[in-house]
């Protein structure tokens, strides 16, 4: 069998980092980890190729080479997914679809012949048997959550590694919390399922042997969902491996705010090479947090939690949401002030949307407030439900927050607040020709051609004289701010 894996195009969004990638001469932020993992589950004798449309164009020749085309997608890739599927149908090549879009959207996708519903590990063997016997079914499903200790290493040989800004790995699936707007527990459950330490070390070995140096994103929805296993097993193994290999990687991941309660864990994360964490803060309003069942964020000083995490060598990126029923017009100014005071330079502020399958969707549907399907991009100024606040006021207020925090004067002030509070990790960043090229390119794009260039140079020179060991971070955040202004300027 000849199997072509296709990762559909992604629209220009907050996290595709299109304008960041131009500054660092890369094509895509991350490789399609799900497809690479599925590829490793197929028989070794089958031929496999990958076309990641974030990196290269898909040709008819690519499709016609294959006996089957496997397409993995999230909801935000729906339009590209449909185009690919219809193109394959026109060319007479059968398709297999999988990924989160097929879990939360049960309506048939035109042109998809066979669907793997949910996580692949428990149903792909049956699909393989049926393909080899020439009788694949339309639908494959297994409602049980698979044991990740049996998940194979991703097939990294399929990617063009130099095209990506970062590599991706996965340690766990699931989340112990139950935020009502989030579909993670619908997709992966509340019980944390983990790979063992040996699996993660083996994946690190693969990346190291392939010559990768730089960033690795642990894609877990909550990396600290099982703190005991992390503290007692995985992090000690990662710390030992990193020391033995002279610290070739820096890691970032997603965690919950309660990481601030565990100083030992934060120390270990930093020692293992983690330097950035994404946290869903959502709101500084207790009423809004209780409304969405974000109880882990309540009854705490969120600004101080963020600043404490930064002092342990972990930069905090964060998600914020506007549009809760309890939100009042005062929420907009309060949110902008919170972001600036906490030094969160990468703040993804979005409008509340209700993905299918979530408790929020079910509640709003029962209240007859759902308007349409969510686009999957909560920064595109769209709402898929009728909010309690007048929608025009909500959208205008949202725009005011985004413009305030990413206005060059305000943004560089926030970056400065981060740099003043942030403790540089023991593991010093690598500085070579690649970093010098990035500095020159960003200096031209942002310091010469872009709006707000005066504030850019003020930050660069302030960093150079006050904290030269953090100059690379000043440049890093200047590039990210440039991207966010481009994407959010609707």
Q: What is the pLDDT of residues 139-181, one digit of tens each?
A: 998 889 999 999 999 999 999 999 999 999 999 999 999 999 9
- The residue segments making up the domain with residue 34 are 2-141
pLDDT at 430: 64
Task: Note whether 249 and 215 are within 8 A (CB).
Answer: yes
Instruction: State the chain's mean pLDDT as an integer.
Output: 94
Q: What is the CATH number of the domain that holds 307?
A: 3.30.750.200
Dihedral angle over CA of 409, 412, 418, 424, nearest 10: -160
Tell me if 165 is assigned to some domain.
Answer: no
* Mean pLDDT confidence for 378-402: 94
Task: Note whether 54 and 28 are within 8 A (CB).
Answer: yes
Q: What is the pLDDT of residues 414-464, one digit of tens each?
A: 999 999 999 988 766 666 677 788 889 889 999 998 889 999 999 999 999
The helix (H) or strand (E) run that includes residue 244 is helix 235-244
Tell me if 405 is assigned to some domain.
Answer: yes
Tell me if 148 is assigned to some domain.
Answer: no
pLDDT at 487: 86
Q: Is the pLDDT of residue 105 over 70?
A: no
Tell me if 408 is assigned to some domain.
Answer: yes
Residue that finishes a domain, picked among 123, 141, 159: 141
Q: Is the pLDDT of residue 263 over 80?
A: yes
* Mean pLDDT confidence for 180-189: 92
pLDDT at 37: 98
Count: domains in the chain: 2
Tell me if 186 is assigned to some domain.
Answer: no
pLDDT at 308: 98
Q: Which two tokens stand for residue 453?
A: 């260039």
Tell me if 130 is assigned to some domain.
Answer: yes
Q: Give the rounded percent of residues in the chain with a pLDDT score beyond 90.
A: 85
Tell me if 397 is assigned to some domain.
Answer: yes
Residue that finishes a domain, picked among 112, 141, 170: 141
At 490, the pLDDT band (50, 70, 90 cuts) reads: low
Runs of H (alpha helix) within 30-166:
33-41, 60-65, 78-91, 100-104, 124-132
Q: Is the pLDDT of residue 58 over 60?
A: yes
Cross-strand partners of 320: 282, 349
pLDDT at 428: 64
Residues in the chain, total: 490
At 186, the pLDDT band (50, 70, 90 cuts) reads: confident
Strand spans (E) along 62-179: 68-72, 94-98, 114-117, 139-141, 167-169, 172-173
Q: At what angle do helices 453-466 and 471-488 cross, to 10 degrees?
A: 160
Q: What is the CATH number of the domain that holds 23?
A: 3.40.50
Q: What is the pLDDT of residues 239-261, one digit of tens each?
A: 999 999 999 999 999 999 999 99
C-alpha triplet 307, 438, 167: angle, nearest 5°: 70
Residue that finishes a domain, picked among 86, 120, 141: 141
At 268, the pLDDT band (50, 70, 90 cuts) reads: very high
Task: Note whether 360 and 181 are within 8 A (CB).
Answer: yes
One DSSP character per residue, 398-466 reads: HHHHHHHHHSHHHHHHHHHHHHHHPPPPSSPPP-SHHHHHHHHHHHHIIIIISTTHHHHHHHHHHHHHH
Cα-based distances in Å from 226 to 147, 242, 265, 354: 15, 22, 11, 27
The CA distance from 446 to 258, in Å, is: 36
Tell me if 245 is assigned to some domain.
Answer: no
Please give the model's pTM, rounded to 2 decimal places.
Answer: 0.95
């Amino acid at each position: 069998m000849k199997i072509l894996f296709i990762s559909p195009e992604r629209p220009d969004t907050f996290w595709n980092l299109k304008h960041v990638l131009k500054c660092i001469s890369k094509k895509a932020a991350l490789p399609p980890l799900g497809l690479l993992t599925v590829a490793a589950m197929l028989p070794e004798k089958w031929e496999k190729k990958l076309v990641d449309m974030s990196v290269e164009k898909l040709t008819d020749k690519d499709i016609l080479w294959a006996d089957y085309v496997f397409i993995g997608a999230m909801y935000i890739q729906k339009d590209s997914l449909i185009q690919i599927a219809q193109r394959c149908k026109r060319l007479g090549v059968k398709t297999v679809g999988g990924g989160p879009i097929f879990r939360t959207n049960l309506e048939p996708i035109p042109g998809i012949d066979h669907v793997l519903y949910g996580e692949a590990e428990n149903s792909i063997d049956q699909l393989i048997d049926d393909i080899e016997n020439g009788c694949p079914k339309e639908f494959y499903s297994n409602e049980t959550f698979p044991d990740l200790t049996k998940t194979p290493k991703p097939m990294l040989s399929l990617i063009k590694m130099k095209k990506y800004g970062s590599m991706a790995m996965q340690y766990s699936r699931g989340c112990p919390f139950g935020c009502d707007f989030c579909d993670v527990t619908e997709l992966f459950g509340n019980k944390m399922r983990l790979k063992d330490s040996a699996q993660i070390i083996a994946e690190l070995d693969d990346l190291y042997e392939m010559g990768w140096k730089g960033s690795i994103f642990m894609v877990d929805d909550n990396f600290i969902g099982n703190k005991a296993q992390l503290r007692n097993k995985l992090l000690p193994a990662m710390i030992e491996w990193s020391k033995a290999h002279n610290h070739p990687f820096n890691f970032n991941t997603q965690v919950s705010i309660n990481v601030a309660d565990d100083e030992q864990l934060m120390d270990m994360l930093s020692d293992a090479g983690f330097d950035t964490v994404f946290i869903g803060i959502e709101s500084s309003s207790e009423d809004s947090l209780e409304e969405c069942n974000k109880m882990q964020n309540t009854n705490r000083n969120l600004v101080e939690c963020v600043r404490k995490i930064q002092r342990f060598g972990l930069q905090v990126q964060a998600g914020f949401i506007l549009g809760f029923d309890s939100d009042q017009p005062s929420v907009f100014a309060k949110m902008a002030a919170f972001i600036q005071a906490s030094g969160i330079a990468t703040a993804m502020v979005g409008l509340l949307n209700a993905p299918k399958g979530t408790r929020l969707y079910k509640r709003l549907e029962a209240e007859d407030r759902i308007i349409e399907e969510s686009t999957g991009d909560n920064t595109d100024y769209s709402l898929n439900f009728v909010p309690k606040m007048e929608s025009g006021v909500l959208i205008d207020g949202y725009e005011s927050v985004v413009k305030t925090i990413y206005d060059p004067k305000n943004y560089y002030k926030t970056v400065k607040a981060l740099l003043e509070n942030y403790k540089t990790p023991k593991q010093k960043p690598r500085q070579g020709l690649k970093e010098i090229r990035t500095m020159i390119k960003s200096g031209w794009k942002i310091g010469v051609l872009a709006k707000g260039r005066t504030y850019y140079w003020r930050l660069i020179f302030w960093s150079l004289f006050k904290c030269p060991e953090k100059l690379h971070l000043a440049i890093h955040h200047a590039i990210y701010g440039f991207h966010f202004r481009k994407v959010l300027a609707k």
